[in-house]
Each structure stands twice: as C-alpha cells, then as structure tokens.
Amino acid sequence: MENKKLNTKAVKNFLSNNAIIILIFILALFVGFVADNFWKPANFKNLVVNVSPRFIIACGVSGCLITKGTDLSAGRQVGLSACLAAMMLQSVDYAARALPWMPDLPWFVALLVVILIMAVFGAINGCVIAFLKVPPFIATLGMQTIVYGLCSVVTGNDPLGGFKSSYSQVALGSLGPIPYLAIFAVAVGAYMLFLYNKTRHGKYMYAIGGNENAAQVAGVNVPATLIRIYVLASVLYAIAGFLVGAKAGGASTATGFGYELEAIAACTIGGVSTNGGVGKVGGILIGVLVFEILKICLQFLRVDPAYTFIAQGLVIIVAVALDLRKYLAKK
C-alpha cells in the first residue's frame, strides 16, 4: 500500500515538474500528424539554427538565476553586440557603411572586439550587484535601458546591412551536415558543462545560490564570483549577438528584443530554479528546445503571430509558477 502511494506521488511530481515539456511534446506529435512537412530534415535544421544562439543566451542567464539573480539586459546586450559586429563587418564597397574608415577586419577579430566591449557591461552589472547591493532585477533593468540608449546613439536608429560574405557564412555555412551555428553552441555548451560541474567557480556559484551567507562564512569570495558570473553572461550575449546578426543578415536597435524573457523561461522550463542553487546545462538545452518547438508548432498550425506571443507569455508565467510551487513544497 505504501509503495503504491509512493509511486502515485512520484508520478504526480514528475507530471507537475515536467508539465510544460510533456504538453509541448504532445503538441509536436499532433502537429507532426496534421502537417506534411513537420518531420522533414529541413525543419530540423531550421530548429537547430534557431536554437543555437538562444541556447548561448540562456547559458548566460542561467548563472544569474542560479545565484538568485536575473539579467533583464540580456536581450539588449545581444542587440548591441549584433549592431557592433554589423558596423565592423560591412562590405568595404557597401555604399551606406556606418564606419567608412574601418579597415577590412576578419570576422573573428570583430567577434573578439565585441566580446571585450560587452564584458565591460557585464562587469558593471556585477559590481553594482556585488558591491552596491542593488537587487539584480533593478540593476539589470537599468542596464537594459542604458544599453538600448547606447545602441540608438551608436547606430543613429538606422538598420545595418551589407555584410561581407565571410560574416554571413558564419551563419549560413556548415561543416558537412552540421551548421556552424550549432558548432558554436556545442562549444559553449561543453565549456559551460565543464565550468558548472568541474571547477571551483561552479561550486561557488551553486553555494551562493543555495545560501549566500553560508557560502561567505565558508570562505567563498561572493563579490568576485558574482562579477565573474555577470561578465561571463555578457560574453555569451556578445557571441550570441554576433551569430544573430549573421543569421538575420542585418541588425538594428530592435534586434534581441524580448530574448531575455525567452531565456529566463527556457532556463526555468529546463529546471533552473529562480530561487537559486539549482540548474544544469542539459536542462537549459531542453528548455530552449521546448520553447523553439512551441513556436515552430504554432507556425505550422498557421496561428497568427500575435497569438504566438500570447502563448509564449503564458508559458513564461506557468514555468515560473511551477518553479515557485516546487520551492514552496520544499519549505
């Protein structure tokens, strides 16, 4: 009798903890039956290409969430990164070059410059949170506005295009059947997996998320760890923004809008708790896949894009609500 009760409780817990994943899986099966092209290889390739930069963004946000923080500036940092990369990698014979004096840079040099610039914003976020004790929600909300304003100033609110072929090829090219975008995502995922599970930084991060005061008493340098987390997050946004710009073939101040909410939702769906101390890289990938599959399913069902935004908003609310429910159940 007790075993039956335990099994019933385990099933209930599994269903409640993975409700969104299960529902999206059922939706995908349904769409696969009613839509002819859903299971085509081209659709899977499209899924991989869309997931790759969003997975990198979610990896950046995950460290902030694990330490009971957040990063609302993620989307705008992605947008600024895309615009900076676009300005440096426009074709030299493009008539409307934003920086006509800029020499012809290799794409990896431009990527490095973007990473260094965006790391500064991450360091500012980390310092404001670690030393000034400003809540991450407020600190990153302020940074979101600052970055958007800077992006508007730098670009003059003009869309950027005319990329040279080597930059476009970063998004369009592939190594055999594997898109270059996926290679970037796999490299980032492998690094984050190692960082979270095999390094002192990862142990400190989880310790801070579990109990910051206890971590400090145990000798963890909390301010330094938080600064590293937010710098790393901005570095990942820089990489993602670079890829998003190449994939889109253009960039503007609107690039990256709302990406931070998708990333937070994907992390939460994948088991990263907004209450801190919990989260795995594999779960983050599952969360991003679920979110992208939802969008693809709604496209195949020819749902109006406006209703797609409503569905995404509901998923965000439900994901956070389920996470809070798990947290309250443990107390």
pLDDT in tens, 203-221: 999 999 999 999 999 999 9
Most confident of 84-93, 225-234, 283-292, 322-331: 225-234
- The pLDDT, as a whole number, for residue 18 is 73
**Which of 281, 289, 284 is CA-nearest to residue 268?**
284
The domain that holds 104 is classified in CATH as 1.10.3470
The pLDDT tens digits of the residues spanning 237-256 come to 999 999 999 999 999 999 99
CA-wise closest residue to 54 among 209, 228, 182, 215: 182
Torsion angle defined by CA atoms of residues 300, 79, 186 and 44, in that order, rounded to the nearest 10 degrees = 10
Mean pLDDT for 110-137 is 97
pLDDT band at 164 (very low <50, low <70, confident <90, very high): very high
Q: What is the residue-averaged pLDDT of the chain?
A: 90
86-110 mean pLDDT: 91
* Amino acid identity, position 297: C
Please report the pLDDT score of residue 320 as a whole number: 77
**Higher pLDDT pick, 184 / 300:** 184
Give 163's strand partners: 90
When pLDDT is cut at 50, 70 and 90, the band that residue 17 belongs to is low
Residue 59's pLDDT band (cuts 50, 70, 90): very high
Is the pLDDT reported for residue 155 higher than 70? Answer: yes
Q: How many angstroms separate the CA atoms of 261 and 15, rounded?
A: 24
- Quote the CA–CA distance of 254 and 159 in Å, as a whole number: 9
Identify the CA nearest to 210 among candidates 232, 188, 225, 191: 225
Lowest mean pLDDT among 10-19, 96-105, 159-168: 10-19
- Confidence band, pLDDT 50/70/90 cuts, at residue 179: very high
Number of independent structural domains in the chain: 1
Q: What is the per-residue DSSP string for 296-323?
A: HHHHHTT--HHHHHHHHHHHHHHHHHHH
* Structural domain for 163, as ranges: 2-330
Whole-angstrom distance, CA of residue 264 vs CA of residue 74: 10
Distance CA 84, CA 11 (A): 49
